[in-house]
Structure 1
């Protein structure tokens, strides 16, 4: 298992958390998604390392922006 933390900009409420969790959770191999709303961090546990492009696309689909990566 691999755990990776991403910084996500624009999340402000529970709906944001659900949207990001759902989209990232749909990526193949993802086992768990934990969102720290106050810090704007999303920790993803997966079978293998995920491509930053796949995570960025999922975050974009949810309506938010992946910072950094």
Structure 2
């Protein structure tokens, strides 16, 4: 899945979003791209879907 994440501007943003995802059970690979504001995530759909949005919002991003 590719997600659009607004307001990521620096390496700390990248680390925060990546960390938020990797803490979730069922997440596979996470690739954060600051230049285009996208995060590519592989995950177990039965386990994670709604939690991904909450993880991003908990870090202060939309």
Q: Do these two structures clear the TM 0.5 threshold for a shared fold by scoring above it?
A: yes
Q: CA deviation at 1:61?
A: 1.2
Deviations 1:11-59 (A, max 9, x none): 000000000000011111112110111000000112x2231x2111000
User: How much has 1:60 moved relative to structure 2?
Assistant: 0.9
**Equivalent residue pairs, number:** 60
- Segments of structure 2 that go 5 or more residues without pairing to the other structure are none
Structure 1 residue ranges without an equivalent (≥5)? none
Matched, 1:14 2:11: yes
Structure with greater proportional strand content:
1
TM-score by length of 1: 0.80
2:51 partner SS: helix
| Distance in 1 between residues matched to 2:3 and 2:61, nearest whole Å | 12
Moved over 6 A (4+): none
TM-score of the pair, normalised by structure 2:
0.88
